Amino acid sequence: MASQTTAPPADERNIEIKARVGSDEEFTKRVEIAKTLTKSNGEVIVQRDVFFNSQSGRLKLRYLEPPARSQLVYYDRPDVAGPKLSKFNKIEVDEPEVLEKILTQSNGAKGIVAKTRYLFMYERTRVHLDKVEQLGNFMEFEVCLLPEQTIEEGQAVADKLMKEFGIQEADLMTGAYFDEIKS
């Protein structure tokens, strides 16, 4: 009997920007812009991301509150400022504590990022306003690309939202929150 092999699923893709917001007043101002733009009050999510050693990209286990299934997320994106392509895969996890133990034993844990996230959806873009423990206030856009969409189309959406929220070039971050905590 011949074995059948199936192709792995395609990576999900988005165009992402991450920016420093600064003061609590600036954060509140941007939350109000998000409420107006999305015509919603958004959703508040408390997250704790445990990062693990990985041969490439970043590997994290995301614990979510209010109680929800956790997620194992692998992503790879260049550490450059401004809109950039992020390729990722994620899976829901029922027993995150067991998975964290296994990944810590096999790969080694690097550290933890804890944050309160204000999530808004604008068309196919996830607008995140984050209060990150030990770091401060940030925001990011994840412009979720359809398989047929080009990187340029996603970058155009990110550029439009940067103007809408008043994000300046100097506010843009190159890496992940975890990179900022460990430095």
Total domains in the chain come to: 1
Whether 143 is in a domain gets the answer yes
Whether 26 is in a domain gets the answer yes
pTM (global) more than 0.95: no
pLDDT in tens, 57-92: 999 999 998 677 899 999 999 988 888 999 999 999
Q: Are 139 and 129 in contact (CB under 8 A)?
A: yes
Whether 51 is in a domain gets the answer yes
Whether 7 is in a domain gets the answer no
Which CATH number do you get for residue 86? 2.40.320.10
CA diameter of the chain: 66
Nearest of 164, 141, 128, 157 to residue 33 by alpha carbon = 164
Whether 77 is in a domain gets the answer yes
Whether 16 is in a domain gets the answer yes
Whether 3 is in a domain gets the answer no
**Residue 90 domain boundaries:** 12-180
Proportion of the chain above pLDDT 70, given as a percent: 96
